[in-house]
Homo-oligomer: A and B are copies of this chain.
Amino acid sequence: MSLIVIKLGGTEGVDFAAAADDLAALAATGQRAVVVHGGSAEANALGEAVGVPPRFVTSPSGFTSRYTDRPTLEIFAAAVNGKVNTLLVEALQRRGVNAMGLSGLDGRLLQAKRKGSIRIVENGKRKILRGDYTGKIHTVNTALLGLLLDAGYLPVVAPLAVSDQGDALNVDADRAAAMLAAALQAETLLLLTAAPGLLRHFPDESSLITHLPPAQLDAALTFAQGRMKKKVLGAQEAIQGGVARVIIADGRVAHPIQNALAGQGTHIG
């Protein structure tokens, strides 16, 4: 049966209530879905409140990510797997959807290779940071998701993974969604964000790209800005992994999922 993987952006003003409304309508049609969420804004706010402000670093190839030492990992777990995941599951339960929150640690859902140290560029200089609890996902426990989907649950996945040694790791939610979509051979991967889609000339929203052939994803990596870079990378990984269609669409509006499936946003594939 066809499956859709939907990623709700955490930082960017994505309307979780509107998405939950659409998820409930989708679930009522019998459509199988897996939801992945972010939670950067919550993690930042909690980190500030407890005196461990976030530190963002940029890789030599221009990708931005959160430096995740052990205190930051624990804050990330509290904010993202605790607050955001629980409240999203609650929003779905209130709408009659039998949601089931998981992180990638649970049942080894998302197994990743820990980076440990990362290369960054700071003030024009290359540096190596150690003690990083982030990772690159290599294996998805599709059997566990199949078990839950077959039993009628809607999996809601927080972006943590488990290392081969059992450590908790912070992983990028867009790429986690892409890995899940590929592993499950999803028909569609939908990335909801706080933009109308991929823009040719950021931040000019009139430069929205409505259709992008997969062959142009490499080029898109060069003009995508900020966090959109990771979405394009995720789209590429999903398409290469066999996902038929990736949509990057606006999550700030009413009916964000319905609109995206009806053609809005950037359709890739």
Residues in A lying within 8 Å of B, measured CB to CB: 46, 49-51, 74, 77-83, 85-87, 89-90, 92-96, 98-103, 105-108, 143-144, 147-148, 151, 153, 160, 162, 165-168
Q: Which residues of B contact A96 (CB under 8 A)?
A: 166
Residues from chain B with a CB closer than 8 A to the CB of A98 are 107-108
Given contacts A82-B86, A86-B168, A93-B166, 9 further A-B contacts (CB under 8 A): A77-B87, A80-B82, A86-B105, A90-B105, A93-B108, A96-B166, A98-B107, A100-B102, A102-B106
Interchain CB contact (< 8 A) of A79 among B78, B92, B102, B107: B78
Q: Copies per complex?
A: 2
Residues of B within 8 A of A83 (CB): 74, 77-78, 82
Expressed in whole angstroms, the minimum distance between the Cβ of A136 and any Cβ of chain B is 18
Name 23 A/B residue pairs within 8 A (Cβ), A-sorted: A49-B50, A49-B51, A50-B50, A74-B87, A78-B83, A79-B82, A81-B82, A82-B83, A82-B85, A87-B168, A89-B103, A90-B166, A90-B167, A90-B168, A94-B165, A94-B166, A99-B105, A100-B106, A100-B107, A101-B103, A107-B148, A144-B153, A147-B151
Q: Which chain B residue has the least Cβ–Cβ distance from A51?
A: B49
Least Cβ–Cβ distance between A261 and chain B, in angstroms = 25
Inter-subunit contact B78/A93 (CB<8 Å): no
